[in-house]
């Protein structure tokens, strides 16, 4: 990501309240709110290895950080302008998604570790 120093000076640095996920989304949202334009160059090629750092199935701490980032972003940028019912539905949706994601990751990690044990035996 490239950005003008003046844009960063206007909107501030990355929000350190995000630990692992959504900090880039928050920064870009603040740029847009301040009137800065985001450009996309389709000729640029980047190889992104999804889950290269965190692993294919997120551990509970990373899973929590991802969903907490979603919660924090919504609360920071949208919740104040939405009704109570909508906020409850969004927060509940994030919580359910976290639960499903944690259960899925846990199940798949156990399944894969069981396979690797049976292959070694």
> pLDDT tens digits, residue range 86-112?
999 999 999 999 999 999 888 887 887
For the chain, what percent of residues have pLDDT higher than 90? 60
- Does residue 117 carry a pLDDT above 60? no
More confident residue, 84 or 59: 84
- To the question of pTM greater than 0.85 for the whole model, the response is no
Which two tokens mark 7? 């844009």
Q: How far is residue 23's CA from residue 76's CA, in Å, rounded to a whole number?
A: 12
More confident residue, 33 or 112: 33
More confident residue, 14 or 40: 14
Q: How many residues does the chain have?
A: 121
């Amino acid at each position: 990501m490239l950005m003008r120093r003046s844009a960063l000076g206007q909107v501030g640095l990355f929000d350190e309240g995000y630990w692992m996920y959504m900090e880039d989304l928050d920064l870009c949202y603040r740029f847009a709110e301040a009137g800065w334009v985001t450009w996309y160059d389709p000729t640029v090629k980047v190889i992104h290895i999804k889950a290269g750092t965190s692993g294919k199935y997120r551990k509970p701490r990373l899973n929590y950080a991802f969903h907490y980032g979603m919660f924090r972003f919504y609360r920071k940028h949208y919740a104040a302008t939405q009704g109570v019912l909508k906020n409850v539905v969004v927060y509940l949706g994030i919580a359910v998604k976290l639960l499903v994601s944690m259960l899925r990751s846990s199940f798949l990690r156990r399944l894969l570790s069981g396979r690797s044990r049976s292959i070694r035996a």
